[in-house]
Amino acid sequence: MELQFLGTGAGVPAKHRNVSSIALKLLDERNAVWLFDCGEGTQLQILKSNIRPRKIEKIFITHLHGDHIYGLPGLLSSRSFQGGNEQLDIYGPQGIKNFIETSFSVSKTRVSYPIVYHELSDGGVAFEDKQFKVEYLPLDHGILSYGYRVAEADHEGELQVEKLKELGIPSGPMYGRIKRGETVTLENGQVINGKDFVGQKKAGRIVTILGDTRKTKNSITLARGADVLVHESTYNKDEAQMARSYYHSTSHQAAETAKMAEVKQLILTHISARYLNKDIIQLEDEAKEIFPVVKAVKDMEVIDIPFVEGN
């Protein structure tokens, strides 16, 4: 599981930062990529990565401001020409379907795969299967803006095969019973408890990706206990009044959310083009005044999300 930041800027593209888009790469987990937002130029950023558009299985839109959606029509059209024939699911606020279908209608665009739209309401579960559950809640941005919590199911402990071989138990159907934790009797009469031969469960990882927002309780709810919290940091700590006026957050406010939610790592993104190298370091340092594990990301950066021992 990896996050790749295709665009980390706020508002308009800049030479050093494109506008918002994040890829959650689930290639080992389900051979798929989930995209969060798709600002202008996202498909050009994808060309710089190893992401294949046909692998994009789902797109989650946080809100309908242009710097988060203007790249959608182009990417969806190009996916047809790049081998994407599988169904694509798009989640987002009411209006996302109209935006895409109007773009297709005006430009006479046809795609070679079905698009299923999921226009979300006040909050709840956007998607759930045996592997993942995606919950969402509205944030505080003037326009309806969602945050998403992606929770992976727990991983069952691994069967300790070497330990079984030491007891002379050959591989076969009995391994399945042992893996399920059953008590089994061996041919020599020895009784073993399957639970003694299965490693500890690994807790599933949690990734929270928030749309643009002021500081709000729903952000804390979505981020509670997350391995990674991706939070906007449009303004520095001294610009709190401006952040409030424009429905955004400061570095300190992002860090306060991370601390209250007890996350493991805070990622700062949606950074104003006004901020250059030394300013980015300042944003990071400001957040670290409140929360210790912080990274302000740049375009194309990849963040691995490993299992944490003791989860």
Q: How would DSSP label each residue in the chain?
A: -EEEEEE-BSSS--SS---SEEEEEEHHHHSEEEEE---TTHHHHHHTSS--GGGEEEEE-----HHHHTTHHHHHHHHHHTT--S-EEEEESTTHHHHHHHHHHHHT---SS-EEEEE--SSEEEEE-SSEEEEEEE--SSS--EEEEEEEPPBPPPB-HHHHHHTT--SSHHHHHHHTT-EEE-TTS-EEEGGGGBPPPBPPPEEEEE-S--S-HHHHHHHTT-SEEEEE--B-GGGHHHHHHTT--BHHHHHHHHHHHT-S-EEEE-B-TT--HHHHHHHHHHHHTT-S-EEE--TT-EEE----TT-
Nearest-angstrom CA–CA distance, 83 and 80: 6
Asked if 283 contacts 274 with a C-beta cutoff of 8 angstroms, the reply is: no
With pLDDT > 90 as the criterion, what percentage of the chain qualifies?
Answer: 76
Q: What is the mean pLDDT of residues 221-238?
A: 97
Using the predicted structure, report yes or no on whether residue 196 has a pLDDT greater than 70.
yes
Instruction: Give the pair of three-digit tokens for residue 61.
Output: 């839109």
User: Which pLDDT score is estimated for 309?
Assistant: 55
Residue 164 — pLDDT band, cuts 50, 70, 90? confident
User: Which pLDDT score is estimated for 31?
Assistant: 95
Give the angle subtended at the CA of 137 by the CAs of 263 and 4, to the nearest 5°. Answer: 55
Instruction: Give the pair of three-digit tokens for residue 146.
Output: 């969602």
pTM of the model: 0.88
Distance linking the first and last C-alpha atoms of the chain: 16
> pLDDT digits over 73-123, tens only?
999 999 988 777 899 999 999 999 999 999 999 999 999 999 999 999 999
Instruction: Supply the mean pLDDT for the chain.
Output: 92
Residue range 2-155+201-304, CATH number? 3.60.15.10
Using the predicted structure, report yes or no on whether residue 311 has a pLDDT greater than 50.
no
Domain ranges of the chain: 2-155+201-304, 161-197
Asked if 58 contacts 87 with a C-beta cutoff of 8 angstroms, the reply is: no
Q: 179 or 226: whose pLDDT is higher?
A: 226
Instruction: Give the pair of three-digit tokens for residue 77.
Output: 């059209």
Active-site residue numbers?
67
Nearest-angstrom CA–CA distance, 196 and 206: 28
Q: How far is CA 172 from CA 112, 161, 164, 190, 268, in A?
A: 45, 11, 11, 17, 50
